[in-house]
A and B are shown apart, each in its own frame.
Chain A
Amino acid sequence: MDVTIALTGFLAILAAWAAIGYTERAHERSRFTTTLPGAREQFTDA
């Protein structure tokens, strides 16, 4: 029983990684602009 639950949980996480990666393909996110203002200026020429 515990093995089944653990297995299901880990497979769900794997599926979530796949779903996140699949979604990213369609909608490339750019969180850096809100999280760390000025980042683009610092690294674009790096």
Chain B
Amino acid sequence: MGRISAGDTAWVLTSAALVMLMTPALGFFYAGLVHRKNVLSTLMHSFLALCAIAVQWVLWGYTLAFGPDWHHVIGTFAWLGFTHVGLHPNPAYAPTVPHLAFALFQMMFAAITPALITGAFAERKRFAAVLLFTVLWSTVVYDPIAHWVWGHGGWLANLGALDFAGGTVVHISSGVAALICAWMLGPRLRSGPHEPHDRTMMLLGTALCWFGWFGFNAGSALAANGVAALAFINTSVAPAMGALAWMTLGWSRTGMPSAVGAAAGCVAGLVAITPAAGYVTPAASIVIGAIAAIGCYAAVQLRARMHIDDALDVFPVHGIGGTIGALLTGVFALHVAVAHQTLVQCAAVAVVWAYTAAMTYAVLKFVMLIMPLRVTPDQEHLGLDLTQHAEAAYQWT
């Protein structure tokens, strides 16, 4: 049994609070990008994902993801309801912090992942369907993938796949799920350009996400040490470079430096540096941020030409950004054989893509047996705030 470090424990608990902030911040990022009639509903998608997964995680999510291994694919139910998750460290995960602190930190990752997907079906998905989908998806997609990559005995971990803070577990899974959701729901009825209703809200949400991301990445060191410092600096420069690259690319093409573009580039950089944060040098993280911004920018342009209405570009930014980050981790990680590691990263990415796509489709089909995924056309015209919540974000006169 490990000895508890006060410094490590304080850092992990603080990081958990930082990551917690990311989910409502994501809500504000998304809410700024939607129509004024769908602001509250968009915020509610993130806020309720946090609430639902907090409970799910304690009851069965954590044990499925991190519980005692069953054939390298899933955790057993031995830790159902946090049974045996106590005040002492679990050396398999974090030898210097209480097991409860580690489980809490991981809870926040589990909560934000389905919240990320909500951007794909914004402005048209029925609220009850969102809630049911969130809990089911987290159970059958997030929890197994987290076990494969981060769980003690997980098969991708055994294979040697590197994912410092969730490039595959969080971003590829949510990005690919977003693509499937957008495809199955169909496009929004309102045609033409979908203008963000409040870019200041979007930028504030981005800034708060970035702030929380320090806990996400640097906290994944699970100790207050040099690796945490490395992850922290990388989490500062990769998104900065991402924002600069995306904004400049857009500027050269449209003639204007877009605030939305800068924010999207920042998020692309954050996503891509997530799997690499504790493994690469700060200079490499600048390169990763730039490549991610260019790749995600191209993916957004491509997505715009397809008839898949991923409303807030979750797939291009998180799916493609996460893939770029996971692959570049193999290229830039220190102390690894580059060719072998890149092959392992490719295998992990391919498996997570395929599993997520298939299981997300199955979960949506299951929810459709119970209720329609979409609101009615009339409700969509009137907006989800009024028709799903009977409340409005703003007072209209």
Contacts and interface: CB of A to CB of B under 8 A. Distances in A.
Nearest to A44: B381
Interface stretch (B99-107, B129-137, B323-331): B129-137
B37 A43 contact: yes
B55 interface: yes
A3 B80 contact: yes
B95 interface: no
Q: How large is the interface on B (under 10, 10 to 19, 20 to 34, 35 or more residues)?
A: 20 to 34
Contact of B132 (A3, A18, A42, A44): A18
Contacts of A3: 59, 80-81, 83
Nearest to B379: A28
B59 A7 contact: yes
A36 B81 contact: no
Interface in B98-134: 126, 128-129, 131-132
A10 B37 contact: no
- Main SS class of interface, A: helix
A17 B390 contact: no
Nearest to B60: A7
A17 B129 CA distance: 8
B59 A10 contact: yes
B81 A2 contact: yes
A21 B370 contact: yes
Contacts of B158: none
B39 to A, nearest CB: 12
Contacts of B287: none
B392 interface: yes
Name the residue in B56, B83, B371, B381 with the highest tally of chain A Cβ atoms < 10 Å from its Cβ.
Answer: B371
A12 to B, nearest CB: 12
